[in-house]
Structure 1
């Protein structure tokens, strides 16, 4: 009987090894350790103790899944192909008075580790329940353990009472501020010419700037930055966080004014900062954008659409970013010049069915190239060094 038991265990282990994923298949369902499609949308990766942790929006079926019904999920992996469900890192609240009450909009959660405080810090785009996309706030949560549970601290609008470093005299003009406040924020989040005629920055200075699509970035010196779409999505802000990563420092810049850049994702390679973003077309895909700078506060230079090729499953090419939208740029552990561009393929009519498009980034003469692959693995970077 002992021999039979040992043989059964060996057979089970062997079958499990054979079922382990060994490649990425962009746009296809991606099973976790339980065989369920990974549920971590609009997410980002935190690397800790040689392990990848993927945080994202936990969706449910149908259109109701576009609002937060569960919270932020977290998965762990050693190889990036196979992911273990670690549960809900931050649950939404059953208290209707909470900023993160069930039914709020909680998007693009990102987690970073603060080596000075030994805390894990989560930021996310938050819209208060029942207010549509009018709140435009940033949520902050903290944990002692990377998988949580995370404790929600508060939500804020960034940099209240502070002007950006590159503010202009016109933006400080009290008459333009008063005129814009009189509009009572009657602006859309989609591209219009109206925004350029009003001083949205100045009108929000006292109460804090709007913050929607966002990401976090920790530089080589340990300083952390919050990048977010602001001013009714018309302009991107890059803001230095405080040393504990729990607030804005008041030091920030406006970049790409009236270029309507959302879904920011950033990386640093060979001393240069690279940013990928998208235009503002709601759930529908559009052409990706890429930019480069020598310092994180700029000046930034637009490089154009980095995408090349065509998604063979849906026929969508560079003009639609293969059907996806950027969410994060992931540095691969132990490999130089190895970065993965993470995109979400949204399915708003059945939110839980959203897919993930992960593709390798190629750096070519100071520019980026993201080429469609039906299937690929990490050996790509060894075959295609910079």
Structure 2
């Protein structure tokens, strides 16, 4: 119903803000911040909720798996404690599920990272400690885990730049900065190939939505990776406000034929809507290769299934090996951190971002977009079918399919106007091979 939050299988509102997903065997687990109560206007979450699903559409509430204020003992500041951006990693070497989150006071005066762990994904999670990663203040955060089990903390350092640090073998602390990225928040890394990383994020405008950011690093490891701004990953109605959302997580879905599709998870903080942030909701959207192969872009749909975008997901992205110029301007260097080389960006931040506060007036287009779209309800992720069978799903979906010949035609046209003849030939050749399969 318009004006309500999405419901779980018991008919209760889903409260999993700023979170992410982790798949264990055939079950997906969605974890996030508990109800954001409007304490003194600060919209405080004190715990972490967990939901489970086998189809990414119907969710079962597993419970409050971590109660921050009750469990966070030994803190050098008084309760209550703010919990934001919880992320869970599985540490195979130790047999632990490790939860990391932005831990703070209601007024953001103690920006740190909290750590808890459990032997089972559903808990109980036991409090470990709070850390200042590498001795630095940490605000919005995410995590990244490589196939070999090595894991990294990705966080906004003093809201000045993004710092990336390896986690210790037990994932409970950091071991020093190895890469920095331009200033942003809501960071989420995804890796489409062995030598290419992307970082999805947002500008800093408090609870207000703003244009999405997408950085790329041509590297085989995040250690020493240099991140550069790419083409804005959204277009059309609502693109300047990321379709009324802010990034929190990007995850991959693999079709039966091996095609990998990325899905963007965003929070609709609803600051300008009825009930404000305490009625915040969510949107999940396809994050797909651009038709010209130059990176990724969000595609907006009110209701959709991954199978609608199977062919589009097969377009090869040409940023994978770093041998092709990205063709984006490079702006002023970011301050270096602990001897690292400086990072660069061509980003111009929207009004209000410098103060990291929510602008008093909604951003341009917010009201029009909200009136045309049901922005207080989570966009349907997929029809009730197992994720592993997503490519064969054909049940009710209102999102238009992307026919193979349309993709090929659009991509060929994009290739003809790309910046170099060599790149045009490469795009056309790779698309011809991919789409003929």
Q: CA–CA distance in 2 between the matches of 1:318 and 1:361?
A: 13
Please list the CA deviations of residues 145-176 of structure 1 after superposition, one character each: whole Å capped at 9, or x if unmatched: 101111111111111xxxxxxxxxxxxxxxxx
Report the alpha carbon displacement of residue 270 of structure 1 after superposing the two structures with TM.
2.3
Report the alpha carbon displacement of residue 293 of structure 1 after superposing the two structures with TM.
1.1
Q: Please list, as runs of the form range in 1=range in 2, the aligned pairs for 1:1-386 lying within 5 A after superposition.
A: 29-63=5-39, 66-68=42-44, 70-94=46-70, 98-99=74-75, 103-128=80-105, 132-159=107-134, 208-230=135-157, 232-256=158-182, 260-271=183-194, 272-295=196-219, 296=222, 297-310=224-237, 317-334=238-255, 336-348=259-271, 349-364=275-290, 365-384=293-312, 385-386=314-315
> RMSD over aligned Cα, in angstroms?
2.4
Q: CA–CA distance in 1 between the matches of 2:104 and 2:53?
A: 30
SS in 2 for 1:248: coil
> Per residue, is there more strand in 1 or in 2?
1
Q: CA–CA distance in 1 between the matches of 2:40 and 2:10?
A: 24
Q: CA–CA distance in 1 between the matches of 2:300 and 2:69?
A: 40
Query: Measured at CA, do residues 35 and 121 of structure 1 come closer, stay the same or move farther in structure 2, by a change above 3 Å?
Result: same
Please list the CA deviations of residues 207-262 of structure 1 after superposition, one character each: whole Å capped at 9, or x if unmatched: x01111010111122110110000x2011101111122111122422222xxx311
Query: Measured at CA, do residues 95 and 361 of structure 1 come closer, stay the same or move farther in structure 2, by a change above 3 Å?
Result: closer
Question: Is the CA contact 1:111–1:121 (under 8 Å) kept in the aligned structure 2?
Answer: yes
Report the alpha carbon displacement of residue 31 of structure 1 after superposing the two structures with TM.
1.4
Query: Measured at CA, do residues 60 and 247 of structure 1 come closer, stay the same or move farther in structure 2, by a change above 3 Å?
Result: closer
Q: CA–CA distance in 1 between the matches of 2:16 and 2:232?
A: 26
Question: Is the CA contact 1:26–1:356 (under 8 Å) kept in the aligned structure 2?
Answer: no
Q: CA–CA distance in 2 between the matches of 1:83 and 1:90?
A: 19
Query: Measured at CA, do residues 28 and 252 of structure 1 come closer, stay the same or move farther in structure 2, by a change above 3 Å?
Result: farther
Query: Measured at CA, do residues 273 and 58 of structure 1 come closer, stay the same or move farther in structure 2, by a change above 3 Å?
Result: same
Q: CA–CA distance in 1 between the matches of 2:59 and 2:259?
A: 23
Gaps of 5+ in 2: 316-437
Stretches of 4+ moved more than 6 A in 1?
Answer: 25-28
Gaps of 5+ in 1: 1-24, 160-207, 311-316
SS in 2 for 1:338: strand
> Taking structure 2 as the reference length, what is the TM-score of the superposition?
0.65
Question: Is the CA contact 1:61–1:350 (under 8 Å) kept in the aligned structure 2?
Answer: no
Report the alpha carbon displacement of residue 128 of structure 1 after superposing the two structures with TM.
3.2
> Taking structure 1 as the reference length, what is the TM-score of the superposition?
0.73
User: Would you say how many aligned residue pairs link Structure 1 and Structure 2?
Assistant: 302
Report the alpha carbon displacement of residue 323 of structure 1 after superposing the two structures with TM.
1.2
